Homo-oligomer: A and B are copies of this chain.
Amino acid sequence: MKIKNDIFLKACRREKTERTPVWIMRQAGRYLPEYRKIREKYDFLTMVKTPELAAEVTLQPVDIIGVDAAIIFSDILVIPEAMGLPYKMEEKIGPLFEKTISTREDIDALSAEGIAEKLSYVTSAVALAKKELAGRVPLIGFAGSPWTLLTYMVEGGGTKNFKKAKSFIFNAPEEAHLLLLKITEAVIQYLSAKIEAGIDAYQIFDSWGGVLSKRHYLEFSLPYIEKIIMTIKKQFDTPSIIFSKGANHSFKEMSETGASVIGVDWTTTLAEVRKITGGETAVQGNLDPITLFANDKVLEKEVEKTLADYGNGEGHIFNLGHGILPDVEPSKARLLVELVKEKSKKYHR
């Protein structure tokens, strides 16, 4: 089905658009009363695992906020679960795994087989969301990066200082690489299945890439992201987005992976990234999510500064520099989207 509003996909390919496309990380989420209404009835993982519910909340921000792309409602931790590590989501704590990984035997016990079948609830949600979108805007799929998934599998949940995960790469680098490779295989199967189910682009969330030194990022995170992108490229021409939050030392190396888009947080300037990558890659970002608590005038000024920071021409996808917070007023998110749509035209003449 032809996509009516395809400026997000055009921007991924640095093609001419009339304005800058905009979507918001975590746009299908708790800040929307319509989402909370469903969430009251079902827990988070039930929503993730029920295609009808996942598809429904995926579409909400398209209708309510007016974004230029939908992103399938899901969770990055479905991959560790499919590999053999079930988890639960604890209120106010976050994900908790029953088992964690620390030895070679633990890694051997994980399976990277039949991932697409095990995660058919995601591909069903994708197919359903695509049908309900009816070509209005593209649908983005996503996966966690191998390094980011490793941190949860080794730590057993969220962490402040990544002591276990980093100790693992320091003290057992061979096992770490073995585990990263196994996760990479699973992610490739998963993203390929999602592409076949209908996603139009995919983002790799390397939420914890930025906690590593540059040397370790280039050894334990980026090569596995690159392997995913290169492998998928052999079969599909689906645009890819890398978002290694905080890994602001390696934009050049990210652009050399063959990714279509580099996502950046608000602590870097878009002009700087554009310069470093030589304009060979599109750039996504990077308004500080807290700007959505500023008054309307300040929000407008900050949107304008972000657009001006990227400057004239193609290849900018507007987004926040991290996920939208649960206590943002939906009207502010809507205003943000309207402002980007209106103020960005002059950069595309």
**Contact of A293 with B249 in the complex, beta carbons under 8 Å:** no
Query: Which of B166, B212, B267, B289 contacts A210 (CB under 8 A)?
Result: B267
- Cβ contact within 8 Å between A290 and B213: no
Q: Is A331 an interface residue (CB 8 A)?
A: no
The answer, yes or no, to whether A294 is at the interface (CB within 8 Å) is yes
Contacts of A178 in B (CB 8 A): none
Q: Residue A290 contacts which of B162, B248, B249 (CB distance < 8 angstroms)?
A: B162
- Cβ distance A226 to chain B, nearest Cβ, rounded Å: 20
- Provide the residues of chain B in CB contact with A257, threshold 8 Å: none
Q: A170-B295, A213-B288, A246-B246 are in contact. List 14 more A-B contacts (CB 8 A).
A: A161-B289, A162-B290, A163-B290, A163-B325, A166-B293, A170-B290, A170-B293, A170-B294, A171-B293, A171-B298, A212-B267, A213-B269, A215-B305, A248-B248
- A304 CB, nearest partner CB in chain B, Å: 12
**Considering the complex, which residues of chain A in the window 40-78 have a beta carbon less than 8 Å from any beta carbon of chain B?**
none
Query: Which B residues are in CB contact (< 8 Å) with A211?
Result: 267
Residue among B161, B166, B167, B267 making CB contact with A214, cutoff 8 Å: B267
* A187 CA / B245 CA spacing, docked (Å): 33
Least CB distance, A317 to chain B, in whole angstroms: 18
Give, as a whole number of angstroms, the nearest-CB distance from A239 to chain B.
27
CB-based contact B213/A167 at 8 Å: no
Q: Is B291 touching A170 in the complex (CB atoms < 8 A)?
A: yes
A residues within 8 Å of B by Cβ? 161-163, 166-167, 170-171, 210-216, 246-249, 266-269, 272, 288-291, 293-295, 298, 302, 305, 325
List B contacts of A246 (CB < 8 A): 246, 267
Task: Enumerate 26 A-B pairs (CB-CB under 8 Å) in ascending A order.
Answer: A161-B289, A161-B290, A161-B325, A163-B290, A163-B293, A163-B325, A166-B288, A166-B290, A166-B293, A167-B290, A167-B294, A170-B295, A170-B298, A171-B294, A171-B298, A210-B267, A211-B267, A213-B269, A213-B288, A215-B269, A215-B305, A246-B246, A246-B267, A247-B267, A248-B248, A249-B268
Contacts of A288 in B (CB 8 A): 166, 213, 216
Q: Considering only CB atoms, which chain B residue lies closest to A286 in the complex?
A: B213
Are A266 and B162 closer than 8 Å at their CB atoms? no
Complex-state Cα separation, A211 to B288, whole angstroms: 9
Whether A249 touches B272, Cβ cut-off 8 Å, given contacts A162-B290, A293-B167, is yes
In the complex, what distance in Å separates the CA atom of A325 from the CA atom of B164? 13
In the complex, which residues of chain B have a beta carbon less than 8 angstroms from the beta carbon of A267? 210-214, 246-249
Please give the distance in Å from A124's CB to the nearest CB on chain B. Answer: 34
Give the residues in chain B near A290, CB-CB below 8 Å: 161-163, 166-167, 170
- For the complex, what is the distance from the CA of A216 to the CA of B266, rounded to whole Å? 10
| Closest beta carbon of chain B to A321's beta carbon, Å | 8
In the bound assembly, the distance between CA atoms of A64 and B136 in angstroms comes to 67
The answer for the CA separation of A171 and B170 in the assembled complex, in Å, is: 45
CB distance from A222 to the nearest CB of B (A): 14
3 nearest CB pairs, A to B: A170-B294, A166-B290, A167-B293
Contacts of A272 in B (CB 8 A): 249
Please report the C-alpha to C-alpha distance between residue A107 and residue B298 in the assembled complex, in whole angstroms.
22
How far, in whole Å, are A244 and B211 apart by their CA atoms in the complex?
Answer: 16
The residue in chain B whose Cβ has the minimal distance to the Cβ of A210 is: B267
